């Protein structure tokens, strides 16, 4: 249920590199640029290391937790349905969203080998900073990808990815809403689909 566009964009962010319910504190442009550069260098090193795929996956998972506002993105993506979900459903959804994201990116680790990036301008946006980059993969056309970075709980976090002008969290939000509506407004149906993703 996590779209291929979201996985690709977040994967590129993690390999090159307003929250929904939490207040955001503005990051300065140099802080946001430095954060994204450090994230990219850290994860490029993971991908290009000689460790096993299992070791790389564990390291990648740790970086996701440190550098991406996974819970904030998950809540934003569920949109109005977050408010009608039971506390048990909310807890299960947050856990499944993270697992789906990690499993999907882990499964494509080999595709990111050799990725490079160039950081461009940084502009203030939505209480944070939007950092522009050009992502290059061997044999692929360059991709323009922007990263929205906000201060969440005192630490900079990636809260959205804008790939070729399209906000990925907005796209994913529309996809989730469509799925739930077509399943009689059942959040449980979404959870079941997400369980299938992580168990397949």
pLDDT in tens, 147-178: 999 999 888 999 998 888 889 899 989 999 99
Q: What is the pLDDT of residues 42-87, one digit of tens each?
A: 877 887 777 787 888 888 889 889 999 999 999 999 999 999 999 9
Is 137 in a helix, a strand, or coil?
Answer: coil
**Best mean pLDDT range from 7-16, 31-40, 78-87, 158-167:** 78-87
> Please, what are the domains in the chain?
4-199 (3.10.450.710)
Does residue 14 register a pLDDT over 70?
A: no
Q: Measure Cα distances from 9 to 17, 92, 180, 184 in Å.
A: 11, 24, 24, 30
DSSP codes of every residue in 33-70: HHHHHHHHHHHHHHHTSSS-HHHHHHHHHHHHHHHB-H
The alpha carbon torsion through 157, 161, 162, 168 (nearest 10 deg) reads -140
Task: Tell me the C-alpha distance between 85 and 26, whole Å.
Answer: 30
Give the pLDDT score at 27: 53
pLDDT in tens, 109-150: 777 777 788 889 999 987 789 999 888 888 888 888 899 999
Short-list 22, 36, 69, 6, CA closest to 197? 6
Q: Cβ neighbours of residue 91 under 8 Å, at least 6 residues apart?
A: none
Q: Are 181 and 174 in contact (CB under 8 A)?
A: no
DSSP conformational letter for 110: G
Task: Find out whether 173 and 77 touch, Cβ atoms under 8 Å.
Answer: yes
Question: Does residue 25 carry a pLDDT above 60?
Answer: no
Banded model confidence at residue 11, pLDDT cuts 50, 70, 90: low
Parallel, antiparallel, or unpaired for β 143-152 and 128-136? antiparallel
């Amino acid at each position: 249920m996590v779209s291929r566009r979201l996985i690709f964009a977040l994967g590129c962010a993690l390999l090159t590199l307003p929250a929904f319910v939490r207040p955001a504190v503005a990051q300065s442009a140099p802080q946001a640029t430095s954060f994204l550069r450090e994230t990219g260098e850290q994860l490029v090193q993971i991908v290009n290391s000689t460790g096993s795929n299992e070791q790389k996956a564990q390291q990648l998972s740790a970086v996701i937790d440190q550098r991406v506002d996974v819970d904030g993105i998950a809540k934003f993506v569920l949109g109005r349905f977050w408010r009608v979900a039971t506390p048990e459903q909310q807890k299960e959804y947050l856990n499944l969203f993270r697992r789906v994201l990690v499993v999907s990116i882990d499964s494509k680790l080999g595709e990111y080998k050799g990725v490079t990036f160039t950081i461009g301008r940084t502009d203030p946006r939505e209480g944070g900073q939007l950092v522009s980059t050009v992502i290059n993969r061997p044999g692929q056309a360059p991709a323009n990808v922007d990263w929205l970075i906000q201060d969440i709980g005192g630490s900079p976090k990636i809260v959205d990815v804008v790939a070729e002008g399209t906000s990925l969290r907005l796209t994913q939000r529309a996809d989730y809403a469509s799925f739930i509506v077509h399943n009689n407004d059942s959040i449980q149906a979404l959870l079941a689909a997400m369980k299938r993703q992580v168990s397949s």
